[in-house]
Amino acid sequence: IHASTAPSTIGRILDLFPQEMHSAIRSALAFNMKAIIAQKLLPSIKEGVPRVPTVEIMTFNPTVRKLILEGMDEKLPDAIRLGAEEGMQDFTMSLRRLVETDLIDRATAFEVAPNPEALKMALKGISVSDSGML
């Protein structure tokens, strides 16, 4: 499925089905999916490494399952940030690591960052783990 983020994959899947099936599809996704991984390939600055992936990982923990079942997809990005201890990561976390390990330059990171301000803060060591929505 072509989707720009892990949370937006849910909507893309639902778009494949008629509206009257969405509740059943949400239930099937919530109880059968283990994770969704989204990636973007970026040009690398490391010698001999042409491209590197930035990766967003959303595992289906109880919070994610509940949000999907209740149709609260807009809260999934917050669930990913809160789920970092469980192995989840958003694109901002991934981009920060790629910059810090000298695999991509800052300009590339900011160009593809879904939230450049959050990336700027993350690169300064300031973590935004809770927006207060969950």
Superfamily of domain 6-123: P-loop containing nucleotide triphosphate hydrolases (3.40.50.300)
Closest CA to 25 of 5, 4, 11: 11
Q: In this model, does residue 106 exceed pLDDT 60?
A: yes
**pLDDT tens digits, 37-94:** 999 999 999 999 999 999 999 999 999 999 999 999 999 999 999 999 999 999 999 9
Sign, CA torsion 16/19/21/24 = positive
What's the whole-model pTM score?
0.89
**Are 44 and 50 contacting, i.e. CB atoms less than 8 angstroms apart?**
yes
Candidates 101, 133, 87, 95; CA nearest to 115 is: 95
Phi-psi region at 65: left, alpha or beta (left = phi > 0; alpha = psi -120 to 50): alpha
